[in-house]
Structure 1
């Protein structure tokens, strides 16, 4: 997340003494929310949007597929794959890598992902989402599904 411009608005874990908490202010204690929790919420919310085929760039998807094959994960991939977050005490910033379906209007899809992720993260964590950076890594083409089928007719005889 080298190109993020949120250092001042989203203190990192180091800047906040390793604490990512929300205090109730009434002496009942604190709640710590791990980066991975926010990443999973953002990943699930992004996947809910029609036109999102997969999360993560080519290398991340390949590593995830290998990890699933080794661990017997069934190909589901990590919920947080393709998502990185920076969580401060009261705010968070999110980076999302997407593979979109061919034909999807990318700007509209990105806006819908931002809305859904913001709503989910803010509702579930109480953290303010300061920015969501979306990187479209690939387009999923319809013929990509057919390339893996062993039932298809060979093109050359």
Structure 2
């Protein structure tokens, strides 16, 4: 989880006050950006995330760990990919997307985005056998002709 201190955004123009962003907000932004990349099946979550999703609460910041040291922002992204995608290509796309979204939305510079691939999710296949009709009469006979 991110640190408990808020991140102060610096403005180039004089403002009416200071702007602070909670690190959890940045985790959510990074999580949404990473999950929107083609080839990402889902983000890593904890057991608490899974229980919350069962009750209808969507956890957007899951799979992202944010650390702030001084003016540098380091992001770790933990994702599961779809089977058959190019892992390096998807990982580079995640890095670029997270970096761009954080820069666009907060004007914060990201020093590094570390992508950790946790696994590959195979495609769901349709069931070839109909469980309601196990003995189908439309099969071909032994000599190759229809019955």
Q: TM-score w.r.t. structure 2 length?
A: 0.75
5 Å-filtered alignment, 1:88-127, equals: 88=69, 90-127=71-108
Q: CA deviation at 1:139?
A: 0.4
Q: What's the offset of the Cα at 1:24?
A: 2.8
Question: 2:63 matched to 1:82?
Answer: yes
Following TM superposition, where does structure 1 have runs of at least 4 consecutive aligned residues deviating by more than 6 angstroms?
Answer: none
Q: Which residue of 2 aligns with 1:65?
A: 50
CA distance in 2, matches of 1:89, 1:127: 12
Task: Please identify the structure whose Cα radius of gyration is greater.
Answer: 2
1:27, distance to aligned residue in structure 2 (A): 5.8
2:113 to 111, 132, 136: 132
Unaligned runs of 5+ residues in structure 1 are 2-11
RMSD: 3.0
Note if 1:50 corresponds to 2:38.
yes
Which runs of 5 or more residues in structure 2 are unaligned? Answer: 133-147
* 1:22 equivalent in structure 2: 9
Tell me if the contact between 1:110 and 1:134 (Cα under 8 Å) persists in the aligned partners: yes
CA displacement at 1:64 relative to structure 2: 2.1
Give distance in 1, aligned partners of 2:105 and 2:20.
13
Deviation at 1:88, TM superposition (A): 4.7
Distance 1:82-1:117 versus aligned 2 partners, 3 A rule: same
Q: Aligned residues, how many?
A: 132
Specify which structure has the bigger relative contact order, considering alpha-carbon pairs within 8 angstroms and separated by 6 or more residues.
1
